[in-house]
Structure 1
Amino acid sequence: MLQFGNFGSLEQHGFVRNRIWSIDLDPPPISVNSSSNKAVIDLIYKPTDDDLKIWPRSFELRLRVALARGGDLTLTVRVRNTDTKPLSFTIALHTYFSVSDSSEVRIEGLETLDYLDNLEHKERFTEQGDAMTFDGEVDRFYLSTPTKLAIIDHQKKRTFVLRKEGLPDAVVWNPWDKKARALPDFGDEEYKDMVCVGAAVLEKPITLKPSEEWKGRQALSHVPSSYFSGRLDPVKVLG
């Protein structure tokens, strides 16, 4: 999550994802409109002495998880610099979606965009298809992505809609068969049932002055999909 990517001795997918968080007893206020019909929990993480040994930066990381009655999920992330020096960081929300068959999934919104391919030493490429699809291992950082992406599951005729603010980039990942067998916490066949698409800040790290705060948001919803020539109905889903 925090410091997502390859940063020397730090974990590739961010060290905060493997830490124990606390309930935030002094969370930011919730507006009346945003709190209606939602279950909300606020979490906070502050670096431990062990964290400061591997990444000597002082910060507060807050995460608000809001689940609406209809199933919409919103993640709001705040990072505040509590250090005396500027704080620079990258961040990603590594979101896994359950799908019927990863080889039949389309991601719309990434076409014509540049991406860094982690399977090719972060070489820069441009997406050539009319949608991003999976036919093998994928590990990419898409750059300057739109605020709305669609993950289309053809077999279930269901679309996940990802909306984001303050997170310009996107992570797309699926280990496929060979890598899945090599991952100790991943079933050999589970790559067929998932795709990972998450909002991120990767290309241009965020820099905060002392006491300054940054906020990003990712909202997830799912809707039935209708198709024309294999494409998502933009009026019903992406309007």
Structure 2
Amino acid sequence: MDFSEINARGIVLLGCGKMGGAMLAGWLDGGLDPVAATVIDPKPSDWLRGTGVALNTDLPAAPAVTLIAVKPQMMGEALPALKALSDTLFVSVAAGTPIAAFESTFGADARIVRAMPNTPAAIGRGITAIVGNGGATAADLDLAEGFLSAVGTVVRLEGEDQMDAVTGLSGSGPAYVFHLIEALRDAGVAQGLPEALALDLARATVAGSGALAMTGEDPGQLRVNVTSPNGTTQAGLEVLMPELPDLMVRTVAAAADRSRELRG
């Protein structure tokens, strides 16, 4: 991404925990000038202190972007500090906080993009879904996509009503995959493998399969490619396939429903 506009006008980061920190690291690696960034964080890490960004100081009057990365329960206390900003694009990565909540604080004409990243962003392999409000222009969405791509892939939603489903699928999804790794490890142990070896096999199997899936080939075809007729994989799939699809539907639905409840 070309950071020239942001370097000239500045960027504000409200909150620099795991997600905010991952994004800041990606921007700095991608060409963001540390002096262009102002970070507000009550408990800055040693890493953050060493980046050279402006920390817990006066905000620029009209930064190009203001990223809101605080926990939803901290919104009421944190957002008033941003009210004085003008001509800025507000981007929120706070789960469960709708665009309307920001419009009520910053005004209906504010330019707002809501984003839902996931934790693989910490290693630059995340996926982030974005949607803008009525005030956000095509250029605003391009800008948001540009700097959010520093931590992975970015996709655009047709409407904010899709955000709960995104939360249930990709936002919460890494936890489902981590639990799959745990379950594969335990299944290997049950078949007589040492725990450490079973964990190595489970981790590598999931990571390698994920990388193969990212080549673009249909996952159903990839599954077929591994499955010899009447072989070992088919025997395992005959146990897994009758139960997994419905289980995943219910899992994602439960997370999406909870997202709707938290939104109110």
On whether the aligned pair clears a TM of 0.5, the verdict is no
TM-score (norm 1): 0.28
Q: Which fold has the larger relative contact order, with Cα–Cα distance below 8 Å and residues 6 or more apart in sequence? A: 1
Is the radius of gyration larger for structure 1 or structure 2? 2
In proportion to residue count, which structure has more strand? 1
